[in-house]
């Protein structure tokens, strides 16, 4: 079987009939029928059932179509991203923590799309620790995460994009007090302790001898903010400039730490990979915001 035959099968389904597929491909209806008959003989199954005057895909036909579509797509993408000219085409696989996705990532990706319209970008969401591992395994080209709380091996590279201060996020009705006073008087809604930001918060609380009452533990920034909105407690999170300005209209933000602690948010990637030029362009677009 050939890629041409698989493309013909896909076109029949897209166009709705053998005749329409022939018009699309510049073939006669007889030539289209011959290709499908040869494919059926090779697979030893019938792909279409005749219903009245129409040819309709049967169960086996639908399975073959699904696989054929995948094969044709991979064939068409075979040259994507290859060579110096291909760097800015094809697919870029990146990961980003939630705070980055709702922050600066959108404007940066919009700039990349305008510069390189043939580029396809897939964004995966996760925690910093998990996304870093996906870079190290080669599954992702780069990730936008909190700076790793460990030494970075020589084969990987870190670029800081933004420094985010931590805040105790309180309901607007909370009295204007210090972070220590707020945490002693209000229950704490903790975020997932596996997160690197969570480790920084824990270390600061221990260093200052602050032991807040724990209300609950959540793995979602948005869920934590909803709980604060309902006056169920306070939470601690790092906020970039864009997010800080937005949340300040809805909550009272009390700087956290003595002095205030910060986390670095940036790009983690392998020192050498075939999409590095494109990731470096992403970094440059952020710096131009």
pLDDT at 139 over 70: yes
pTM, to two decimals:
0.67
- Residues 251 and 179 grouped into a single domain: yes
Give me the domain span that covers residue 153: 83-162+264-287
For residue 154, give the CATH number of its domain.
Answer: 3.40.190.10
- Residues 94 and 145 grouped into a single domain: yes
For residue 52, give the CATH number of its domain.
Answer: 1.10.10.10
Local confidence band at 87 (pLDDT 50, 70, 90 cut-offs): low
Residues 6+ apart with CB under 8 A from 210: 180, 183, 184
Would you say 164 and 260 are in contact if contact means Cβ atoms under 8 Å apart?
Answer: no
* One-letter-per-residue 3-state SS of the chain: CCHHHHHHHHHHHHHCCHHHHHHHHCCCHHHHHHHHHHHHHHHCCCCEEEECCEEEECHHHHHHHHHHHHHHHHHHCCCCCCHHHHCCCEEEEEEECHHHHCCCHHHHHHHHHHHCCCEEEEEEECCHHHHHHHHHCCCCCEEEEECCCCCCCCCEEEEEEEEEEEEEEEECCCCCCCHHHHHHHCCEEEECCCCHHHHHHHHHHHHCCCCCCEEEEECCHHHHHHHHHCCCCEEEEECCHHHHHHHCCCEEEEECECCECEEEEEEEEECCCCCHHHHHHHHHHHHCC
- Residues 59 and 96 grouped into a single domain: no
- Residues 62 and 94 grouped into a single domain: no
Total count of domains within the chain: 3
- Residues 208 and 273 grouped into a single domain: no
Q: Which pLDDT score, from 0 to 100, does residue 237 have? A: 94
- Residues 57 and 90 grouped into a single domain: no
pLDDT at 84 over 80: no
- Residues 140 and 155 grouped into a single domain: yes
What is the mean pLDDT of the segment spanning 45-63? 89
Domain C-terminal end among 56, 76, 96: 76
Local confidence band at 102 (pLDDT 50, 70, 90 cut-offs): confident
- Residues 64 and 101 grouped into a single domain: no
- Residues 257 and 230 grouped into a single domain: yes
- Residues 171 and 238 grouped into a single domain: yes
How much of the chain exceeds pLDDT 70, in percent? 96
Tens of pLDDT, residues 164-188: 999 999 999 999 889 999 999 999 9
Q: Which pLDDT score, from 0 to 100, does residue 228 have? A: 97
Domain C-terminal end among 18, 45, 76: 76
Tens of pLDDT, residues 7-16: 999 999 988 8
Tens of pLDDT, residues 233-285: 999 999 988 889 999 999 999 999 999 999 999 999 999 887 888 899 999 99
- Residues 111 and 144 grouped into a single domain: yes
- Residues 108 and 220 grouped into a single domain: no
Local confidence band at 81 (pLDDT 50, 70, 90 cut-offs): low
Q: Cβ atoms within 10 A of the Cβ of 152, count? A: 12
> pLDDT averaged over the chain?
90
First-to-last C-alpha distance (Å) of the chain: 51
Residue 58's alpha-carbon distances to 29, 62, 101, 206, in angstroms, are 20, 6, 42, 65
Q: Which pLDDT score, from 0 to 100, does residue 190 have? A: 92
Domain C-terminal end among 76, 110, 139: 76
Local confidence band at 59 (pLDDT 50, 70, 90 cut-offs): very high
The whole-angstrom distance between residue 149's C-alpha and the CA centroid of its chain comes to: 22
């Amino acid at each position: 079987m050939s890629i041409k035959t698989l493309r013909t099968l896909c076109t029949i389904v897209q166009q709705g009939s053998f005749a329409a597929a022939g018009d699309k491909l510049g073939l006669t209806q007889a030539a289209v029928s011959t290709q499908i008959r040869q494919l059926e003989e090779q697979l030893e199954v019938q792909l279409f059932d005749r219903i009245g005057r129409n040819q309709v895909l049967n169960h086996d036909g639908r399975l073959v179509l699904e696989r054929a579509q995948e094969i044709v797509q991979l064939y068409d993408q075979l040259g994507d991203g290859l060579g110096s000219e291909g760097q800015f085409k094809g697919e870029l696989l990146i990961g980003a923590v939630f705070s980055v996705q709702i922050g600066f990532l959108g404007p940066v990706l919009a700039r990349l799309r305008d510069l390189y319209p043939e580029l396809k970008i897939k964004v995966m969401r996760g925690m910093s620790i998990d996304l870093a591992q996906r870079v190290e395994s080669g599954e992702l080209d780069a990730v936008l995460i909190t700076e790793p709380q460990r030494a970075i091996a020589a084969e990987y590279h870190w670029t800081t994009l933004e420094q985010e201060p931590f805040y105790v996020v309180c309901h607007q009705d909370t009295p204007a007090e210090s972070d220590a006073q707020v945490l002693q008087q209000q229950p704490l809604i903790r975020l997932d302790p596996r997160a690197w930001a969570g480790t920084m918060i824990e270390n600061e609380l221990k260093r200052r001898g602050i032991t807040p009452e724990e209300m609950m533990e959540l793995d979602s920034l948005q869920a934590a903010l909803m709980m604060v909105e309902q006056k169920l407690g306070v939470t601690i999170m790092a906020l970039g400039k864009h997010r800080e300005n937005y949340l300040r209209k809805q909550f009272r933000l009390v700087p956290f730490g003595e002095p205030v602690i910060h986390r670095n948010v940036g790009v983690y990637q392998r020192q050498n990979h075939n999409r590095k030029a494109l990731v470096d362009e992403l970094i440059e677009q952020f710096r131009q915001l």
